[in-house]
Amino acid sequence: QVQLVESGGGLVQAGGSLRLSCAASGRTLSAYVMGWFRQAPGKEREFVTTITRSGDFTYYADYVQDRFAVSRDNAKNTVYLQMNSLKSEDTAVYYCAARKAADVSSRPHEYDYWGQGTPVTVSS
């Protein structure tokens, strides 16, 4: 089992940037495909991005493509989400998640472990 803790959220103006981190403990992060999801108030949790175990492949939702970048440092047991050109519609609680299966997925229910989330608020 792996425990995930997100950090780096906060308040930022539209057009600004934030970098979120997701630190893992309990098991080595390299055993998991990782994903980032977000949930805005009153909305369902939605996919943001996912990255393979080695980091050689990434996949993004259309609404963050070219603005967000996911990366991982397996030696540090940490996954990152660099968010640039933030918009008010990016306001949400951001969650990282770990998937035991080898293939990437954009479906929340296909992830096995979740962090507690970190809030991001983008002011316009």
pLDDT digits (tens, 9 = 90+) for 73-102: 999 999 999 999 999 999 999 999 999 999
E strands present in 17-91? 18-25, 33-39, 46-51, 58-60, 68-73, 78-83
Nearest to 10 by CA among 115, 90, 68: 90
Q: What is the mean pLDDT of residues 45-62?
A: 97
Q: What is the mean pLDDT of residues 7-20?
A: 98
Is residue 72 over pLDDT 90? Answer: yes
Percent of the chain with pLDDT over 90: 96
Render pLDDT for 24-43 as a digit per residue (tens, 0 to 9).
998 889 999 999 999 999 99
Q: What is the pLDDT of residue 86?
A: 98
Q: What is the pLDDT of residue 27?
A: 83
Q: What is the pLDDT of residue 26?
A: 87
Q: What is the pLDDT of residue 81?
A: 98
C-alpha span between 2 and 86 (Å, rounded) = 30
What's the alpha-carbon Rg for the chain, to the nearest Å?
13
Is residue 1 over pLDDT 90? Answer: no
